[in-house]
A and B are shown apart, each in its own frame.
Chain A
């Protein structure tokens, strides 16, 4: 099996896996009963989903700058979503409306 085929398989598997996590996260967002569980569904699923899609796309882009851009985008989304869910969670903890 040539390296080309292996990279193609990596892309297909990783991007499909990422899409599955996004789907699962969206289902969780729509189905879960309260804000904290919905946050849980969103952050876990989207972070892993986006990460998998990034990994799948890495062999497709020019090394090093485009690949580094992809990785930076992922890291920034990780930080931003972690912080924003913390902020929402804290607001709830201090007695917001949790329904």
Chain B
């Protein structure tokens, strides 16, 4: 057995072990920490399969954003009375859940094992039309050109999720600022870290978005980093969360979808149809949409973590 195979097997076993721990542990905080570790290990696994695009997204979303969301949720659940929460389900419920999980897992295993060899792939076609888009990264071409509608609807879902979070606010706080649940007084080392990290993070986010045209990266990874920096700035108390009612904020949140829709509608008259790009102009249009999307994604993810507004503007 070569070192490479041994590493892959060890990594796979480690991922499984962390997954089992995440489900099995009783402590919600420990479960969230294990989940973040699970996301990071999973992104190592994707790297091991030569999928840097998936690995980046998994690290940014699975490890980073979801981890922050879950930690926040964990703190909120803990601060409230959770007597009902701790009641464990009856054995019938457990059995049903176990059976469902077993069916799902064995179905997935069967699908993977029964795949024809070589597996069906669209990769050659994705690379063949790459020159028409002006992009160098086939993954970005799939996201922004071949399957642009999916990507746009994904952004709509993200925005809907934020609307869902906001709708949890009580009436008196509507239009006010989100509070991250309950933020403690910032420590000085945290303020220092934020001041050091913010410029680096902003450059890294923009770089990731920009390099996404030709290499692994893209709007989602870049936006996730920007949102992380934004959240850090709030945590350090260096800036306040913009009010839910502010017009500027709403424009930033929706500008990605607006640009996407505008390009799509323009495609009806200027190109082959909705979301088709005119020949020769594909790359500049894609870049403009991606700039807007990076901003929107960063703002949306940051505000998702910030939670529903809990502080009104007028005291």
- Residues of A48-84 contacting chain B, CB below 8 A: 72, 76, 79-80, 82-83
- Contact indicator A80/B193 (Cβ below 8 Å): yes
Dominant SS among interface residues on chain A: helix
B190 within 8 A of A: yes
A87 within 8 A of B: yes
Measured CA separation A83–B193 after assembly (Å):
7
- Residues of B145-201 contacting chain A, CB below 8 A: 187, 189-190, 192-193, 196-197, 200
Q: Which residues of B contact A31 (CB under 8 A)?
A: none
A-B contact count (CB 8 A): 20
Measured CA separation A83–B197 after assembly (Å):
11
Most A C-beta atoms less than 10 A away, residue of B193, B197, B200: B193
Q: Which residues of B contact A80 (CB under 8 A)?
A: 193, 197
Q: Which residues of A contact B192 (CB under 8 A)?
A: 83
Q: Which residues of A contact B196 (CB under 8 A)?
A: 79
Contact count band on A: under 10
Q: Which residues of A contact B187 (CB under 8 A)?
A: 86-87, 90
Q: Which residues of B contact A83 (CB under 8 A)?
A: 189-190, 192-193
Measured CA separation A82–B189 after assembly (Å):
9
Dominant SS among interface residues on chain B: helix
Which residue of B189, B197, B200 contacts A87 across the interface (Cβ within 8 Å)? B189
Nearest CB of chain B from residue A71's CB, rounded to whole Å:
13
Measured CA separation A81–B196 after assembly (Å):
13
Q: Which residues of A contact B189 (CB under 8 A)?
A: 82-83, 86-87, 90
**Which A-chain residue is minimally distant from B200 (CB atoms)?**
A76
Measured CA separation A36–B190 after assembly (Å):
19
Most B C-beta atoms less than 10 A away, residue of A72, A80, A83, A90: A83
Q: Which residues of B contact A82 (CB under 8 A)?
A: 189
Q: Which residues of A contact B190 (CB under 8 A)?
A: 83, 87
Bitwise interface map of B from 197 to 236 toward A, beta carbon under 8 Å scored 1, else 0:
1001000000000000000000000000000000000000
Which residue of A79, A86, A90 contacts B197 across the interface (Cβ within 8 Å)? A79
Nearest CB of chain A from residue B133's CB, rounded to whole Å:
27
Measured CA separation A80–B193 after assembly (Å):
7
**Which A-chain residue is minimally distant from B196 (CB atoms)?**
A79
Measured CA separation A80–B190 after assembly (Å):
9
Measured CA separation A82–B187 after assembly (Å):
13
**Which B-chain residue is minimally distant from A80 (CB atoms)?**
B193
Measured CA separation A72–B197 after assembly (Å):
12
Q: Which residues of B contact A86 (CB under 8 A)?
A: 187, 189
Measured CA separation A80–B229 after assembly (Å):
13
Measured CA separation A72–B200 after assembly (Å):
10
Measured CA separation A86–B191 after assembly (Å):
12
Most B C-beta atoms less than 10 A away, residue of A72, A82, A87: A87
Nearest CB of chain B from residue A54's CB, rounded to whole Å:
17
Q: Which residues of B contact A79 (CB under 8 A)?
A: 193, 196-197
**Which A-chain residue is minimally distant from B192 (CB atoms)?**
A83
Q: Which residues of A contact B197 (CB under 8 A)?
A: 76, 79-80
Residues of A within 8 A of B (CB): 72, 76, 79-80, 82-83, 86-87, 90
**8 pairs, CB–CB < 8 Å, chain A vs chain B:** A76-B197, A79-B196, A83-B192, A83-B193, A86-B187, A86-B189, A87-B190, A90-B187
